[in-house]
Each structure stands twice: as C-alpha cells, then as structure tokens.
A and B are shown apart, each in its own frame.
Chain A
Amino acid sequence: EAQVTQNPRYLITVTGKKLTVTCSQNMNHEYMSWYRQDPGLGLRQIYYSMNVEVTDKGDVPEGYKVSRKEKRNFPLILESPSPNQTSLYFCASSSSPGQSYEQYFGPGTRLTVT
C-alpha cells in the first residue's frame, strides 16, 4: 500500500530536550516536505526537499532541522524544542509531475512541548 508514515503519532516532551520525528514514504517520490498546522493558520511549510541531499527552507524554518540522506526518509529534528513549537506536524511526499506537485500526507504527529 502506497503511504507516508510518521512516528511517533503523539509526543509530549519538555523544553530543550532534543527530539526527532521520522517520516518515510514508499512511493519513490523525489519531493518531501514538513508542515505544521495550527488553529486558524492552516498548514505552514517548515522545510522541503527536492531530492537526496537537497533541502530548502519553507516559511517557518526557525527552530527546526531536516536531513535527506535517503530518498524514502525525511526526519524532522527539533534540537531544543520550545512551547511555541507545540503543534500538529505533517510530512508529505510528491512525485515530480511537472507543475502539479500533488502531495500525499502522513497521518500527523501531535507534539506538545511543556
């Protein structure tokens, strides 16, 4: 089954404790992206990757890191989480069908930073 998986689905942590949210896709997609979703703000892009070892900032990259060492994986790293990073996070992947950029989303990771 074609899918994007994220782990963990729920995470409660404390300020400053480094964490990683994993994302994996089995569709051989070149493009991957991380978003955060907050009430009233929709989804905001954090980082995206257009291929292995190619990453770029989205609209809200501060406080986050990513890496793309393999095509299927795109982990999101919070080196020193803060309460304002409490949010619902989604990973997405896309093939490169010209201009369409249709994205397939994972189930989400709900992060609470206390």
Chain B
Amino acid sequence: TQLLEQSPQFLSIQEGENLTVYCNSSSVFSSLQWYRQEPGEGPVLLVTVVTGGEVKKLKRLTFQFGDARKDSSLHITAAQPGDTGLYLCAGADDTGGFKTIFGAGTRLFVKA
C-alpha cells in the first residue's frame, strides 16, 4: 500500500516567519499535487509537479519534487495570516490508473 507521510501535522508561527512542509514516501509517483483546504470547503489545487527535481514558485510559495519522484516539499517565505489553512499533498499512482494517495495534511496557523 502506498503511503504519503506529511510533516509536520500542525504548525503555528508568527507572521513573517518562513516554514517548510514535507511530504515523503517510499513509492514513486507520476506526479504530485499540493492543495489547500479551508474549513467547510473542498481542497483547491495550488500546484502540480511532474518531473523529478522540478521546482515551481507561486508568489511566496516554492514547491519542489524530489529527484526520484518519491518526495516533495512546500516552502512558504514570510508567512501571512492569509496563508492559514490545511495543506495537503497528493501523489498520483505511477501505474497509469487514477489512484491517488493523500497525505494526512499540515494545519498551518499564522498569527498576526
């Protein structure tokens, strides 16, 4: 069974601090997505990484896919209260199907 271990599970920081969320697995994924979820809503896609070693930037968010396509990280620079939410990583099965594995999520709280 494929697993995606996400860490930390909870993070409470001050506005302006930097943070990194990790997503690790022993399995290879064809792609990995990062989502953000607000209370009472469905997850919303932030980014997809496909190529090993790929780095994508979305304003103050930097996403990286590991060279072996088994892990990923999300780095937020100068966090703001608006970044508060649940961040989820999800890996797409490498066998050509549509099986998707989600990490348990990182709940981020940024204090003003």
* Chain B: interface residue total (CB-CB under 8 A): 26
* Chain A: interface residue total (CB-CB under 8 A): 29
B46 to chain A, nearest CB (A): 10
A92 to chain B, nearest CB (A): 8
Cβ-based interface call for A78 (8 A): no
Contact across chains for B30 and A102 when beta carbons are under 8 A apart: no
Query: Could you list which residues of chain A lie within 8 angstroms of chain B, going by C-beta atoms?
Result: 4, 31, 33, 35, 40-45, 48-50, 56, 58-59, 90, 92, 94, 99-108
Known: A33-B100, A45-B99. 6 other contacts (CB 8 A): A42-B88, A48-B100, A59-B99, A59-B101, A104-B45, A107-B42
Query: Could you list which residues of chain B lie within 8 angstroms of chain A, going by C-beta atoms?
Result: 1, 6, 9, 30-31, 33, 40-45, 48, 50, 88, 90, 92, 97-105
